[in-house]
Structure 1
Amino acid sequence: MSSKDWKTICAERKKKQLDSMPPEWIIDPPKSPYGSVQHVPEECGLLTTRELEITNTTDVDILLNMLATGVWSSVEVTTAFYKRAIIAQQLTNCLTEIFIDRALARAKELDTYLQEHGKVMGPLHGLPISLKDQFRIKGLETIMGYAAWVGEVSQVDSVLVEMLYELGAIPFVRTNVPQTLVWGETYNHVFGRTTNPFNRYMTPGGSSGGEGALVAMRGSPLGVGTDIGGSVRIPAAFCGLYTLRPSYERLPYANAVNAQEGQESISSALGPMANSLCAVKRFTKAIIDGKPWKKDPLVVKKPWSHEEYALSEHGDGVGMCFAIMWDNEVVKPHPPLIRAMELTKKALEAVGHKVVDWTPHKHLEIYENSERIYTADDGYDYRVECEKSGEPLIASMKLQDEQTHHYPLEKSMAKTILGEIKHLSAYELWQLQKEKRILRKSHLDYWESTASTTGTGRPVDAIISPAVASLACPHGTNSDAFYTSLCNALDLASTVFPVMFSDKELDTKPPPHKFRNNEDEAIYNLYDAELFHGLPVGLQLIGRTQEEEAVIAMTEVVDKALKAYKRV
């Protein structure tokens, strides 16, 4: 460990990052911390007409076809996205590692391969892919928001990075995370705070918030984040993106770094984030077709199932029954989310699907069980990493706050329901894991019992719900994660998809309801129709364990129905 104090370490590392940006790519960003910056890439003058065409191509299938046929070279596509990523960095502070020369050398290698062999190197040939700052890349630092990790250069690639190289992709930037990874927002002492490009006063979510902001700015055609409690789905919802949270061990996590390593009752999962649903499918299928179980011993040996993607267990996609969870009975969602669910219901019914209400099952028990598992070490892991440099543990994500150094997850609802958080013994943790299995079985039985009410002869095909109780909110106010962490606790494959934008005229604040807990009251008081106007509104689709193919396909059904309904 360096003898320098942590503030000096952070300042020097931030300067190194700034120095890695080409001077000719520096723009004059808007000074106001408020409002959208989505228009800046089009107007700043840095990107050529062709570069704007490339980076505005959100359909990854089109992008990959242009690369495969040589219409666009890998070098020019990578350069275009790199320039736009650097613009996004100046506007939202979304990046950590920038390695332009290395990425362009890889792109040149792919162009040469296409010319010499007349074919692509793999299914992701020439595609620049951004990565959350957990995925090791040999020869580069993996800092993950800790001052103590500055200067730790990786000697290996994570399995995901190995596979991306084999599939023809180009890892080209890494993105910002919160210190400890456990926040639904994105801020650390090394690289600073990431903001939401739709309104920089708001958070992009977390912990994959850097990915969310970058991809929303179209600074990357496809990003990869991780999710242990909602960390790809929350940023996707806040930033208007598509994403997938796969089941435990479906996609390769080996050799990536993490917080709380060794906690395996609720496993973290990696997931793609993009502006198109086809990108989510392309990435997931490419990784699974690459047989990741040959590189990561924990990955389930399950090849991509064309039959499941064709929805063979869901009526072949015809006349399905979706359930809507209007409210998880823990925290009531904000008005724009209610309107989004109403719109989704109408869209599905308009194309012949049935929509029923979903009554939550044992949610408070599941919440308490999962929170006690997450906090079983009473923050010991985080304190150890901070103590290595003397860096303080961040206790609030607010823009201006008085730091008090207690466990980051000690939020209002957790304190109300759990009481004091304590360091558990091994035996106490075993009892929680036992209880978790019982709760998963109970929830499965409950889901199966819906077969008697759907009218299809099958249980509910999927559940549609909010991903978060609010939209992107002011920094330091995102306390809700149970709509997403429910899926982590039960290991339910799930996606997030954009629906619409909030509207202050349509999404007025309702009168107070009977509050269930402190957080429910805080979320209600947070909502202001004017403040939240114009923000993306996304929803979550929840399927079954190890049902990634069907969950992607059902999300395509919902997405297609919504687009058709909005055109009418």
Structure 2
Amino acid sequence: MTPNIDHKGATWQEIAQKVRDHRDITVEKIEPAIPTQFDYLPSRVIDVPRQHLSAAEVEITESPIDSLLSSLAIGKLTSLEVTKAFLRRAAIAQKLTNCVYELLPERAIARAKELDEALAKGEPVGPLHGLPISVKEHIGVEGRDCTAGFVGWVGNKSPYDANILKILLKAGAVLYVRTTEPQGLMVLETCSNITGVTTNPHNTSLTPGGSSGGEGALLALRGSPLGIGSDIGGSIRSPAGNCGIYGLRPTPARLPLIGLEAFSIGCETVMGAIGPMSPTLDGIELFMKTVLNSRPWDDDLSLHQMPWRVLEPSKKLTVGVIWDDGVVKPSPPVQRALKEVVEKLKALPDVDVIDWAPYKHDEAMKLLTKLYAPDGGRAFAKGLATSGEPWLPLPEFTMKGSPGVEDLEQHDIWKYTKDREIFRYMYLQEWNNAAPTMDVILSPVGPLPAPPHGTSKYWGYTSIWNLLDYPGIVFPVTKVNPELDAKDESYKPRNEMDKLYYDNYSVDGQKDAPVALQLVAKKLYDEELVEALKTIKREISLPFVNSLA
């Protein structure tokens, strides 16, 4: 869509500045007030919020989600005190990483008081009673901007809360913060002409990923216990991996998309999905159970009519391993994380580990280039033109500069859509024939733990699963270790993209970066996927190094 908004002759810079001014005002409303600036900040800012919060606020914001919900349900903690604690921590997170689009203190505090009054009169409102939740900006909130990263869409007000929010609010959640996203959403980093650059709290010279990078940074700083991201090429999994948290991209059409905005709404060459992001795996499962047990398909027949299935733990698990997709080689810390996980899995009596040779991933990347921008970037450019804002380098590369992008004729779109369906069919045949017992695939999330700003051009390790419509979940494993993760100076890059990532890896440059991996299952096997990760996490004691500590 292209909203018809009159900015009365304002420049794009003036429009963007008004958004930032508004955000700063919402931060200033937080009580007790947070520091207006910090005298000195290290590159790793994970520990900084603890220095500016009370002991009670630290305990609340760092409590496991199940413990927090238990305390809220019995009134040991009030929704008001929990909400205020997360508002303060989110405000500090904004000062540290620029991850907040706006805080919603009036709405959140009113909602918290309402929930406390309801509990005083009877039972908790729902399974999420009193739990603060964060949300990516392009997921609509009634009466608030929904820009999808375009300056010209500032002032495009959502007429109602997105369906996913309605479900979570009915379950007792408190919405208190909206997070940053990149220009037009189509980037694995988080930079826009509206809010600027969002940084990684583990190392601010690195990107938190994108396009749900504001969520990633906020959750890593424990400024939220549970957030909502979206993913059409890795936009949940990239920030989850870069920031050392958990993120699930479910099978598309399991969770409702009504109320979201994007320049490509209506284009179904590659389907997007929304999904949960959380510092804990428990948060991921809680989100899915809560939403799917509400039967969202009763109001939206585009959704699969499948409640969240409770499974018995698998007695036997077969894990296929992608060591390298053949296009861009994983960097040393990613290779090490894979090896460490695989070695521990092989020692388990009820887990079989096999190597899984990627099936034509190079061809898949060429096909995705056609499907992501079938109009050659015209719709994206139209979104920019609503304000006159300039292209930023990464979205320009993705939407019109990437080799193979072209403005397709309708018949060409039909052809590439058919090719997509053939590829999906052939990939499944390969899985069924070559590894019929394989339950899940273990792979990198990306070639680097967290890339330097402005360098995230390769989506292959995540977008392949978007092409296939397979669910994927990302989980933290370890951290970059200067003693173990030295660069291989003898390596000869196989192509230009491989060289870009090789050149941008530095064991010193990636200092403190989390290293995560990804688990993937067949379409609609979301429950099996989460159960497999629960088993693996429990049996080999993941993560090996807690990057959020």
Q: Name the CA shift for 1:492/1:566 in 2 (closer, same or farther; >3 Å).
A: same
The equivalent of 2:302 in structure 1 is 298
Counterpart Cα distance in 2 of 1:36 and 1:562? 28
Q: Given residue 382 of structure 1, which amino acid in structure 2 is its aligned partner?
A: F
**1:355 aligned onto 2:353:** yes
Q: Given residue 286 of structure 1, which amino acid in structure 2 is its aligned partner?
A: T
Deviations 1:37-57 (A, max 9, x none): 11111113xx21111100011
The equivalent of 1:374 in structure 2 is 372
The equivalent of 1:555 in structure 2 is 533
Deviations 1:409-433 (A, max 9, x none): 456xx42xx3xx2200111001001
Counterpart Cα distance in 2 of 1:426 and 1:349? 49
Counterpart Cα distance in 2 of 1:61 and 1:450? 40
The equivalent of 1:221 in structure 2 is 225
**1:38 aligned onto 2:46:** yes
**1:389 aligned onto 2:370:** no
The equivalent of 1:233 in structure 2 is 237
**1:132 aligned onto 2:136:** yes
- How far the C-alpha of 1:33 sits from its partner, in A, is 7.3
The equivalent of 1:403 in structure 2 is none
Counterpart Cα distance in 1 of 2:538 and 2:307? 26
Counterpart Cα distance in 1 of 2:39 and 2:327? 39
**1:106 aligned onto 2:84:** no
Q: Map of 1:166-185 to 2, 5 A cutoff?
A: 166-185=170-189
Q: Given residue 443 of structure 2, which amino acid in structure 1 is its aligned partner?
A: S
Q: Name the CA shift for 1:515/1:15 in 2 (closer, same or farther; >3 Å).
A: same
The equivalent of 2:68 in structure 1 is 63
User: Is the contact between residue 208 and residue 239 of structure 2 (CA under 8 Å) also seen in structure 1?
Assistant: yes
Q: Map of 1:537-548 to 2, 5 A cutoff?
A: 537-548=515-526
Q: What TM-score results when the alignment is normalised by the length of structure 1?
A: 0.91
Q: Given residue 279 of structure 1, which amino acid in structure 2 is its aligned partner?
A: G
Q: Map of 1:373-452 to 2, 5 A cutoff?
A: 373-396=371-394, 406-410=396-400, 414-415=402-403, 418=404, 421-451=405-435
Deviations 1:122-164 (A, max 9, x none): 1111110000011111121212221111122221111111111
Unaligned 5+ segments in structure 1 are 311-315, 398-405, 452-457
Larger mean CA deviation between 488-497 and 374-383 belongs to 374-383
Q: 1:486 aligns with which of 451, 459, 464?
A: 464
User: Is the contact between residue 159 and residue 296 of structure 1 (CA under 8 Å) also seen in structure 2?
Assistant: no
Q: 2:23 aligns with which of 17, 23, 34?
A: 17
**1:515 aligned onto 2:493:** yes
Deviations 1:346-391 (A, max 9, x none): 2212332121111011111211111111011111111111111111
- How far the C-alpha of 1:188 sits from its partner, in A, is 0.9
**1:54 aligned onto 2:60:** yes
Deviations 1:403-460 (A, max 9, x none): xxx554456xx42xx3xx2200111001001010100010001111134xxxxxx521
- How far the C-alpha of 1:561 sits from its partner, in A, is 2.6
Q: 2:444 aligns with which of 457, 466, 474?
A: 466
Corresponding residue SS for 2:541: helix
User: Is the contact between residue 394 and residue 408 of structure 1 (CA under 8 Å) also seen in structure 2?
Assistant: no
Counterpart Cα distance in 1 of 2:504 and 2:194? 29
Corresponding residue SS for 2:27: coil
Deviations 1:520-540 (A, max 9, x none): 111111111111122100000
The equivalent of 2:120 in structure 1 is 115
Counterpart Cα distance in 1 of 2:318 and 2:37? 48
- How far the C-alpha of 1:295 sits from its partner, in A, is 2.4
- How far the C-alpha of 1:25 sits from its partner, in A, is 2.4
Unaligned 5+ segments in structure 2 are 1-5
The equivalent of 1:401 in structure 2 is none
Q: Given residue 5 of structure 1, which amino acid in structure 2 is its aligned partner?
A: T
The equivalent of 1:27 in structure 2 is 35
**1:79 aligned onto 2:79:** no
Counterpart Cα distance in 2 of 1:410 and 1:36? 35
Counterpart Cα distance in 1 of 2:299 and 2:139? 15
User: Is the contact between residue 149 and residue 182 of structure 2 (CA under 8 Å) also seen in structure 1?
Assistant: yes
- How far the C-alpha of 1:516 sits from its partner, in A, is 2.8
Q: Given residue 516 of structure 1, which amino acid in structure 2 is its aligned partner?
A: R
The equivalent of 1:346 in structure 2 is 343
- How far the C-alpha of 1:266 sits from its partner, in A, is 1.1
Corresponding residue SS for 1:464: strand
Corresponding residue SS for 2:393: coil
Q: What TM-score results when the alignment is normalised by the length of structure 2?
A: 0.95
- How far the C-alpha of 1:227 sits from its partner, in A, is 0.3
Equivalent pairs, count:
536
Provide the identity percentage: 37
- How far the C-alpha of 1:264 sits from its partner, in A, is 0.9
- How far the C-alpha of 1:563 sits from its partner, in A, is 1.2
Counterpart Cα distance in 2 of 1:299 and 1:30? 47
- How far the C-alpha of 1:339 sits from its partner, in A, is 0.6
User: Is the contact between residue 223 and residue 272 of structure 1 (CA under 8 Å) also seen in structure 2?
Assistant: yes
The equivalent of 1:337 in structure 2 is 334
Q: Name the CA shift for 1:33/1:193 in 2 (closer, same or farther; >3 Å).
A: farther
- How far the C-alpha of 1:34 sits from its partner, in A, is 5.8
User: Is the contact between residue 186 and residue 203 of structure 1 (CA under 8 Å) also seen in structure 2?
Assistant: yes
Q: 2:277 aligns with which of 244, 252, 273?
A: 273
Counterpart Cα distance in 1 of 2:51 and 2:138? 33
Larger mean CA deviation between 203-212 and 468-477 belongs to 468-477
The equivalent of 2:3 in structure 1 is none
User: Is the contact between residue 67 and residue 74 of structure 1 (CA under 8 Å) also seen in structure 2?
Assistant: yes
Q: Given residue 441 of structure 1, which amino acid in structure 2 is its aligned partner?
A: Y
Counterpart Cα distance in 2 of 1:291 and 1:164? 12
The equivalent of 1:402 in structure 2 is none
- How far the C-alpha of 1:237 sits from its partner, in A, is 0.3
- How far the C-alpha of 1:99 sits from its partner, in A, is 1.2
Q: 1:148 aligns with which of 147, 152, 162?
A: 152
- How far the C-alpha of 1:297 sits from its partner, in A, is 2.7
Q: Name the CA shift for 1:363/1:32 in 2 (closer, same or farther; >3 Å).
A: farther
Corresponding residue SS for 1:317: coil
Counterpart Cα distance in 2 of 1:160 and 1:149? 22
RMSD: 1.7
**1:91 aligned onto 2:88:** no
Q: Given residue 135 of structure 2, which amino acid in structure 1 is its aligned partner?
A: L
Counterpart Cα distance in 2 of 1:124 and 1:264? 33
Q: Name the CA shift for 1:564/1:224 in 2 (closer, same or farther; >3 Å).
A: closer
Q: Given residue 143 of structure 2, which amino acid in structure 1 is its aligned partner?
A: G
Corresponding residue SS for 1:17: helix
User: Is the contact between residue 25 and residue 86 of structure 1 (CA under 8 Å) also seen in structure 2?
Assistant: no
**1:255 aligned onto 2:259:** yes
User: Is the contact between residue 344 and residue 558 of structure 1 (CA under 8 Å) also seen in structure 2?
Assistant: no
Corresponding residue SS for 2:19: helix
